[in-house]
Structure 1
Amino acid sequence: MRKALRITRKVLLWIIGIIVGLLIISAVTHKILNSIEKNKYKIGQTINVDGKNMQAYVTGSGKKTIVLLSGLGTASPITDFMPLAKRLSADYKVVILECFGYGFSDTTKEERSNANIVKEIRTALKELKINGPYILMPHSISGIYSMYYAINYPKEVEAIIGIDESTPNQTKINKDANMSPYLALINTSGIVRDVTYLLQSVDDGMNKNNYYSNEQVKVKNMATVWNGGNISVINESNMVNKNTKELYDVKYPNKLPVLSFLSKDSVDSDKEWLPLHEQVISNSDIQKIQVLSGKHYLHWTNADKIAKMSKEFISTYVK
């Protein structure tokens, strides 16, 4: 019996040793490949923000500047917004910022509060030497940061055009669940990369209208491997309830032009989605809502409409 137990222990130790060894190899390989891939496929320009690298993409040369801000967990904002940015750049200067934890940018352990994220956005724009006021175009959670920005620095924001953007009171209805920071180990261990290699990529509808090139789709898939579940994104996710609560029952400034493009899929699946956006309107003469057919990532399938309708809105309401 004792001999059998000793053999069993040895076998278990060997199995554990093999697993640990494979995880170490996976983590080291993942780190090396991340660096190689990011350098090879890097898009845009790298700027210094608070001692870390942040990636930005600037296109167009219009008199007004649109700043595109991504949703929570968007792996590669530059790639994600590229078709929309291309269309907007015919009339405006367009900036895509990859905040910390996204795309080619570094991660950070700084608190993902409204104040910190907005400070980083403002610093990035100054580093790019692009002066305001800006038209902020947030997708999803960036709607919260854009509202905070407009309220606290009103002279720097001349309009907000949201893409199915979040509103503060949504967490009054449904609180977001917290994620364990230990989940970041899945990212650093390279498990996301391993799973991606083993399983075929799932069609998420990004290229339904063939807006994206094969290279752009490839970069987006690689960025998912680099950034999926990293510590910055996890910390940002865990701040959603606090960040929205900071703005509970707040409306947009009365003189701020706002256009919200809402996804019909979101409106149909959540009866509160449209009312939540109506609640933040303080001046219906210059603050509008437009429902477009499509899912939460509206710019994947509606880049032409969003660009055209944004131009009409800006021409009418943003002087």
Structure 2
Amino acid sequence: MTQPEEKKTRNGSKIKKVRNILLKIIGAIVIAIVLFLGIVYIMNVISNNSEAKRIEPYGQHVSVDGKNMNVLIQGEGEETIVLLPGFGTATPALDFKLLIDQLSPFYKVVAVEPFGYGLSDGTEKERTTENIVSEVHEALQQLNINRYMFMGHSITGIYGIDYVNKYPNEVTAFIGIDSSVPTQPGMDVKFPLKKLELLKKSGLLRMMMKLGADPYTGLAFDAKTVEQMKMISNKNMNNDTTLNEMDHISSNFKGAQGLTFPKDLPLLLFVQSDNQGVAGWIPLHEGQIKDSVHGKVITMDGSHYLHHTQFKAIAENVRAFMKEAK
């Protein structure tokens, strides 16, 4: 064998060894990933089963469309406030607990957990504004609640503007907690529903929530409530019902763009004072009240979940505003 041939053979042997090593490394990485995903999935299943036994019931079930909708009622005041959550708030009645505790000495507070939220059932019915509004109204009818202030967070601004126009003889005021505005920008986005569903079913979502920052750190919730909220969040986040609602967000916002709040309906909007995510956040809300006979915007420091930190001020301002509006 000539010298060039020997060199070529040696080079070929080295390349083959390097290739074999690379294939072994890639194989080991693939096996490690598969094992990791398998462990995450199994731990998620075990945790789901364990937590399902530790979730403590609260409120009461109301039959709507043959399914159970959970509703928490607290307080015995002559006037009633109906509370609705923002999109994706997995445990509405507990999430509103600090605010409910401030309102309930003066009002009858009814926290409704729509299908897919809290301890309510899921549903296969499309999550259009029309269906959601109809279901909430049916729950209130079942409870013989026919006269009330309608109060809600975030996307309730979209469902609420439809609701107050459909049931004007029942709603005595609308109170928004950093509520959505139909014309706010950026709501025509398409969400990666399949990826979000995969995160849920694989157990990766649970792991991400576990490793992420604790959203309740520094808040006034007691430890037991926090534990319950975390377990119910693990159960509800990215479930089929809320993913369907996410899929309808764009069309629901578009459908609300032709609606305005009735001029004679008292309208109180608590608005985050420094919203970096939505351009013109305060002017958008000021535009909603400009034609109202009894309209007011109150800006507040805090996150989008103003009721987590400003619950006392919200309750005090609600009472003062309703006295002025009478």
Q: Give the TM-score category using the shorter length.
A: 0.7 to 0.9
The 1:77–1:125 alpha-carbon spacing in structure 2 relative to 1, beyond 3 Å, is same
**Residue 262 (structure 1) shift:** 0.3
Report sequence identity in percent.
36
1:118 aligns with 2:136: no
3-state DSSP of counterpart to 2:232: helix
- Count residues in correspondence: 306
The corresponding residue for 1:25 is 42
Q: Which amino acid aligns with 1:180?
A: L
Aligned residue among 191, 194, 199 for 1:178: 191
Shift of 1:88: 0.5
Does residue 133 of the first structure (1) align with residue 147 of the second (2)? yes
Give me the whole-angstrom Cα distance separating, in 2, the residues matched to 1:106 and 1:185: 21
How far residue 315 of structure 1 moved from its aligned partner, in angstroms, is: 1.6
Q: Distance in 2 between matches of 1:140 and 1:10?
A: 47
Cα distance, 1:195 vs structure 2: 4.2
Distance in 2 (CA, whole Å) between partners of 1:169 and 1:95 is 29
Over 3 Å counting, the alpha-carbon distance change for 1:16 and 1:85 in structure 2 is closer
Q: Give the drift of 1:178.
A: 2.1
Amino acid of the residue matched to residue 132 of structure 2? I
1:227 aligns with 2:227: no
SS at match of 2:289: coil
Cα deviation, residue 33, structure 1: 2.7
Q: Secondary structure at the match of 1:265?
A: coil
1:188 aligns with 2:197: no
Asked if the contact 1:26–1:191 (Cα under 8 Å) also holds between the matched residues in 2, the reply is no
Q: Report the secondary structure of 1:222's partner residue.
A: helix
Q: What letter matches 2:175 in structure 1?
A: I
CA distance in 2, matches of 1:194, 1:124: 35
Question: For 2:54 and 2:131, how far apart are their aligned partners in 1?
Answer: 29
Partners in 1 of 2:187 and 2:208 — Cα distance?
31
Q: Does 1:291 find its partner at 2:306?
A: no
Match of 1:300 among 287, 292, 308: 308
Aligned residue runs from structure 1 range 214-293, under 5 A: 214-266=223-275, 270-281=278-289, 283-293=291-301
With structure 1 as the length reference, what TM-score do the two structures score?
0.85
Quick one: structure 1 residues 13 and 316, their matched pair in 2 at CA, closer, same or farther if it must change by over 3 Å? closer
2:108 matched residue in structure 1: 93
**Counterpart amino acid of residue 157 in structure 1:** V
Q: Which amino acid aligns with 1:63?
A: E
Quote how far apart the aligned CAs of 1:125 are: 1.4
Counterpart contact for 2:71–2:112, Cα < 8 Å: yes
- Over the aligned positions, Cα root-mean-square deviation in angstroms equals 2.7
Alignment of 1:41-80 (within 5 A): 41-80=56-95
Cα gap change, 1:80 to 1:24, in 2 (>3 Å): closer
Name 2:323's counterpart in structure 1.
Answer: 315
Pick the structure with greater CA Rg: 2
* 1:151 equivalenced with 2:165 (yes/no): yes
Q: Is the 8 A contact 1:30 1:190 kept in 2?
A: no
Distance 2:268 2:237 in 1: 31
Q: Could you give the per-residue CA deviations for residues 61-80 of structure 1, whole angstroms, max 9, x where no partner exists?
A: 11111011111111211111
8 A contact 2:60–2:70 mirrored in 1: yes
The CA distance in 2 between the partners of 1:263 and 1:16, in whole Å, is 42
Aligned residue in 2 for 1:202: 213
Listed one character per residue, the Cα deviations across residues 7-56 of structure 1 (whole Å, up to 9, x for unaligned) are: 98998997798578546634542442342133xx2222222222222221
3-state DSSP of counterpart to 1:53: strand
Q: 1:211 aligns with which of 220, 229, 232?
A: 220
1:176 shift after superposition: 3.0
Supply the AA of the counterpart residue of 2:54. E
Change (3 A) 1:89 1:211: same
Cα contact 1:60–1:90 (8 A) shared by 2: yes
1:285 CA displacement: 3.1
Q: CA deviation at 1:249?
A: 4.1
What TM-score, normalized to structure 2? 0.84
